[in-house]
Amino acid sequence: MKTRVVITGLGAVTPLGLNFEDTWKNLLTGKSGVETITSFSTDGLSTTIAAQVKDFKPEQYIDPKTLRRMDANERLCVVASQMAFDDAGLNLDDLDLDRCGVVTGSGIGGIQTFEDQHATMLNRGAKRVSPFFIPMMIIDMGAGMVALRLGFRGPNYATVSACASSAHAICDSFRIVQRGEADIMITGGAESAITPLSMAGFCAARAISKRNDEPEKASRPFDKDRDGFVMGEGAGILVVESLESAKARQARIYAEIVGCGMTCDAYHMTAPLPDGSGAARAMAQALKDAGIGPEDIAYINSHGTSTGLGDLAETKALKTIFGKLAYKLAINSTKSMTGHLLGAAGGAEGAITAKSIKEGIIHPTVNLDNPDPECDLDYVPHKAREMEINYAISNSFGFGGHNVSMVFAAHHSS
């Protein structure tokens, strides 16, 4: 018999707030976190806007010596993980640390460190490169640093699948607990890739919005006038644990994870399959894994990036799986306000989906002023909506054709 897996803690640092609750409140009011970039010169860049984390003070959680040896990506991961740990009401003295693990995702990792150390080598020579360059750069170190902080000795690694990275991390953690290999997992992801080189690369790929004069209106999923996604940064972390463990300590339960589906388009480096069939297969697998049908789903937290091809492909995928029921779904895009958190998106949006189920309310999709005629579903424009949610799906898709769908369920005490 498979172990049931529940979500008991949420942590986040995003462009909308330095903790999960502030992020949640700003989402419900439709606030945009997109602004003009001021942290570095954007001369020569076709895009000069992004959704940046503002006024983040990791020193409130991490000692100065450790802080100097961490990339911004790792700082976000550690702080959001500590927040989720605290939110779950966990106490290290009560835990079997051999049965507690960490799996986190990031699509790009320590690119700021990479840029800084490359400049150091060019300008000052190879001997001046930091001995901490490699551990600060590699993607797995976020999970490693969380384990070092908490003493978790169970499964520990990172997942890398572009913008599906932290969704893969959650699915892996779900499976680990479900198989009985751990009782508690910290999972989700972090990303801090708003840097000169990273922005130049995304500009060159023509993937991001150029609506520089109206930053707060640049991310507009499913809108006819969308022109690309908006770069974001942040972290979204969940504590997942066995239902038995949660009940034993009388923990608050946000939601239950009941299914995961993972597929690949095997089609193109960056573009999705035009008919959305890869995403559709991921949703179909997740529903089958959960043991439910399309008619049971009330809400979809979409991948919804604000790209021409991506939004349309996801809409087609939803119609493939849900048929006429697709028009009865409530669908929103967190990225309309946070921008695209890249490898951290699935973690943040998974946490938001769990909170939506618990609170019975979903945030709006903002900037949906002129709906694309081909994207004709209910994307919850402009205003939050109260609704009962028994089952919901969170979608994450990434460059390389990676598709992940997760099914979350309301938990009713029995």
β-strand pairing of 184-191 with 234-242: antiparallel
- ∠ Cα 355 149 65 (to 5°): 120
**Alpha helices, H only, 179-267:** 196-204, 243-248
Catalytic site includes residue 303: yes
- Stated as kind and residue range, the H or E segment containing 237 is strand 234-242
Q: Which member of 100, 203, 303, 363 is catalytic? A: 303
Instruction: From residue 289, give the alpha-carbon distance in Å to each of 83, 283, 403, 406.
Output: 30, 10, 15, 10
Amino acid sitting at position 182? A
Q: Collect contacts of 357-361 with beta carbons under 8 A, ≥24 apart.
A: 357/254, 357/255, 357/299, 357/389, 357/392, 357/408, 357/409, 357/410, 358/254, 358/255, 358/410, 360/386, 360/387, 360/388, 360/389, 361/28, 361/385, 361/386, 361/387
Q: Which member of 168, 340, 402, 411 is catalytic? A: 340
Q: Are 212 and 35 in contact (CB under 8 A)?
A: no
Rounded-to-integer distance, Cα 161 and Cα 142, Å:
15
- Stated as kind and residue range, the H or E segment containing 256 is strand 255-264
- Stated as kind and residue range, the H or E segment containing 345 is helix 345-359
Amino acid sitting at position 47? T
Catalytic site includes residue 163: yes
Q: Which member of 163, 171, 260, 375 is catalytic? A: 163
Catalytic residues: 163, 303, 340
